[in-house]
Structures are given as structure tokens and as C-alpha cells.
A and B are shown apart, each in its own frame.
Chain A
Amino acid sequence: MLTVKDLHSYYDKAHILQGVSFNVDEGQVVCLIGKNGMGKSTTVKSIMGIAPPQIKSGQITFDARDITHLASNKVSQLGVSYVPEERRIFPLLTVRENLTLGLDVVGVSKDEKAKALSRIFEYFPRIQERLNQLGEGLSGGEQQMLAIARAMIMKPRLILMDEPTEGLMPLLVQEIKEIIATLKQERIAVLLVEQSAAMALDVSDIVYVMEKGTILFQGTPKTFRDDSKLMKEVLGV
């Protein structure tokens, strides 16, 4: 479904991604883990078409279509949703407006919008209680749930999640793990960026470890856990 091939991305003259390659198949949960500043978020932004960073060489394809230099609004319309680092809820839009913004772009009827909202409320009942509240009035955890709900409501085929558990309490981290499991059941692929390797290993099918803009390791969570040297280097365990 998603293929990233020998990607080189830059912030100005800083060469951040130095030949990153990986795949994400339909219904798969793939995780990029690594320390701060290794290029994980840059990889996600490059896929999503967010600039900066600038892609100087390499290729990104989604369903065999080249999306390497496609603008982010076009990438979104192909079926890719984005849950950014720091949530990025629109603070002065209501929860309802935050949720339905993407639906209005594709142009759905009132009935379809109502059905989409109902479906989302099954996963996120707390959001239903806050529909008319401004985004800035939500707690950190609620904003994270809204960011994920906003991505899910679009019925994407691939969701890019950048550090969705950052700064959240363990109960909410568990909720997010359950949501990712649900997405997997619905055959929605997830590319997950996580600093918390422990969380990532619990939910992923494939793990890629990034270091200094390159892929250091590729394998299943089990093979990662069996590599004690790598575990120590990445997790400090």
C-alpha cells in the first residue's frame, strides 16, 4: 500500500533523511521508533506532503501512485489521514467543526455526516459530550482523542500517527492502544511514530528503528525484543 524508497529529505541544508526505505501493507501496523531527532517525524511529514521538509530524492508511492511531491491536501484526499505531534486541534473551532472539517472537503450529505459522527462517538463517547465546546477548552487527553477521531472519521486507508501517546497518562495510552487494535481489525493501516518503544512493540506488526536519518533495524517486535544489544541502545534496557 505505502512504499517509501530511498528517501532523502532536508530542512534547508540539513540532510535529515538519508535514504529511508520501508513498506506498509494494508491492515498492517508499522512503527518507527528511535531517539529524539533521528528523523521519525520528518519521515511522516515527508509522506504527508508537509513542507518543510523538502524531499530532494527518493520516491513515495501510495497504492502504486507516486505521491512524492504531492501537496498534503491531495495526499489526504487519496485516503491518508494524519494525527500530528502536538495534536494541532483548531483552538477556535468547536469539537464538531474540528471533526467535520475534512468531511466537508469531500462533500458528504447531512445524513452521511450524522452517520459518520455516530460511528466516531462509539469509539470516543467523551467527544460527544463536548461537541459544542471550543477545541482550546479540552484537556490534553481529550485533544489527543479528538485528533485521532478527526483522522478516523475520514475512513482513511492509512493513518499516520506521530507520537500519539506523548504526555498522556497510562489509562489514555491504553485507550490509544485499543483504538489502534480496532483500526487494524478494520483493515486500516497505521504508520506509528513512537518514542515509547514499549507501547510500540505491543501494537506493531513490524518495527523499524531509526538512527540519524537511516533505518538501523527492521523486524517484528519479537526479533527486536530478542536483540538485547539493540534493546539496550534504543530502550536503555
Chain B
Amino acid sequence: MQEQLMQEILMQILNGLVFGMIIALVASGLTLIFGIMDVINFAHGEFYMVGAYTGWFVIGYTQNFWLALIVAFFFVGLFGAVVEVSTLRPIRGRAPLYTLMAMFGLSIFAQQVILMIFGPIAKEVKEPLATKIPLFALEYPLYRLLIVAIALGIFISFWAFLKKTKYGTWIRATMQDNIMASALGIPVRLVYTLTFALGCALAAASGVLVAPIFSVYQSMGLAVIVTTFIVVVIGGMGSLLGSILAAIIIGELQTVSSVLVSPTYAKIFSFLALIGVLLIRPQGLFTISKR
């Protein structure tokens, strides 16, 4: 009995890591957009959803999961760029409510369009690797471990992009002081577009990775966005490292506690963590120096 419980806990620790990395990908996009543009992207879950649908669509034609991941990343990134230029740029500088309403409207619009095109029935995506491997005392799906590795690979690549490239430095400078960045010649409007595109692309990648586990359906963005916002607030708005660490903490909290209580109640622990952080350190675990 005890051995069974230990195995269950171990399984949930691993699941928590997988779930945490998926949320980290979504949350890092959201926090990046907020950190640089001061935009709370209420449609962020829909970019995750559109990413998943794009992945399902490409797999349907090519049978190639990895190609679908790449196509979804760039397609949704491009879509995000179009949204930024057409919807956010014209209302920049106005009261925050304009942006909130615009993104909320986009969220509803995206869900309805997807529903019209693809219908209400959830789409199944096969795992690209159906093998299980022995891990500690368990047989654990290899694909889920691969999600962790891919997410880590994306984060490392993103870190390298931010630290080592010209455009990454532009993004970091704009995040810290957009006025001074512009005064030094940086095309801040282009940085905003690039940032929004990147944020959406990260969400899309997460949507494709999670598709074989949870399937693809039109309201899947709603299922993830609340947890994403909790993670971003706990990690610190605008802090990438904070979002990643908070996502892993919340992922573990939800999955491990589901061993003791029902999954519905397990989600309450995330809210308790959020309340705790807001009371003790309202700026989040990590903060960014910003002007």
C-alpha cells in the first residue's frame, strides 16, 4: 500500500514537472509581452489553442509531429505580429481598458472562428513516441520526458537569443526603459511587434506539445489561462525566470496534491499559493528593474 502510494507520488512529481514546463512556455510568453509592452494579453490562451489546431492540421497532412511544431511556432508567431500591428498598435498609449477589451474580444472571436471551421468535437493527436521507459520504479511515457527536454531547449535558446543577439539586447533594453531605448535609435515599435510575435509563438509551441496528452478543442485556452496568470503573478510580472520557476512550483503543487485530494480541490492550492504571495511579496518572487 505504502509502495503504491510512493509510486503514485513519484508519478505525480514527474507529471507536475511536465505540466509545469508546459505552463512555463505559455507563461513566459505572457510575461514577456507584459514586461515589454505593459499589455495583459487576455487572448493568450487562444494563441495556445490556435497553435494546437495548427499542429493538428499539419500532422493531418504530413504525419510529421516535429514539422507541425515548427510550423505552428512560426505561423502563430506571424499571426501574433499581424494582431499586434492591426489591433494593439493603433490603441497604444490609451487607457489600459482599451487593450483589455480588445484582447478579450479577440479571445471570443478566435474561439468562435475555430468552432465554425473545425466544429465542436475534440481532435485527437497521436503521441510521436508511444514508448514507455523505466524510470525509478515506474514505467513513464517517453514523450512526456521529451516535452520537458524540448521546453528546456526552447528556454535555453530563448535565453541565448536575449543575451547574445542584437535583437535580444534591444528587447532587454526596451523592457528596462523604452523611452531611452528609442532615444538611442532602437525601433521600439518593431521590438513590440517582435515581442508579441515571440510570446504568441511560445504559447503555440506549448499547445502543440500538449495536444497528444489533452487533445485539441476550442476552449482549451480557457483551461490553461487561469493557471498561467497565477504563475505570472507569483513569478513576478515581466520576469521570465520567475515564470518558469513559479510554473514548476504550481505544476508540482497541483499534481502532487491530487494524490491526496481530488484534482478539482488540488487546483485550490494554486489559488492559496497566489494569495500567499500577494500577501507576503505582492511584486512576485522575482521582479524586474523597470523605468
Interface residues on A, range: 20 to 34
Q: Are B291 and A102 in contact (CB under 8 A)?
A: no
Q: Which residues of B contact A75 (CB under 8 A)?
A: 183
Known pairs A73-B188, A93-B172; A104 contacts B183 (CB<8 A): no
Q: Are A105 and B183 in contact (CB under 8 A)?
A: no
Q: Are B291 and A88 in contact (CB under 8 A)?
A: yes
Inter-chain CA distance A92–B188, complex, in Å, is 18
Interface residues on B, range: 20 to 34
Q: Which residues of A contact B94 (CB under 8 A)?
A: none
A221 at the interface (CB under 8 A from B): no
Q: For chain B, what secondary structure do more than half of its interface residues adopt (helix, strand, loop), or is it mixed?
A: helix
Q: Are B176 and A91 in contact (CB under 8 A)?
A: yes
Q: Are B169 and A104 in contact (CB under 8 A)?
A: yes
Interface string of B161-198 (1 = CB under 8 A from A): 00000100110110011011111111110000000000
Q: Which A residues between 190 and 222 are near B, CB-CB below 8 angstroms?
A: none
Inter-chain CA distance A88–B291, complex, in Å, is 9
Known pairs A73-B185, A76-B185; A92 contacts B179 (CB<8 A): no
Interface string of A81-104 (1 = CB under 8 A from B): 010100010111100010001101
Inter-chain CA distance A92–B170, complex, in Å, is 12
Q: Are B289 and A72 in contact (CB under 8 A)?
A: no
Which of A48, A73, A93, A136: most chain B Cβ within 10 A? A73
CB-CB nearest in chain B for A48 = B183
Residue from A88, A104, A150 in contact with B177 in the complex, judged by beta carbons closer than 8 Å: A88
Q: Are B169 and A72 in contact (CB under 8 A)?
A: no
Inter-chain CA distance A150–B177, complex, in Å, is 15
Q: How far is the CB of B16 from chain A (nearest CB, A)?
A: 31
Q: Which residues of A contact B169 (CB under 8 A)?
A: 93, 97, 101, 104
Inter-chain CA distance A102–B169, complex, in Å, is 11
Nearest first, the 7 closest Cβ-Cβ pairs linking A and B are: A105-B185, A76-B185, A102-B184, A72-B182, A88-B180, A82-B183, A73-B182
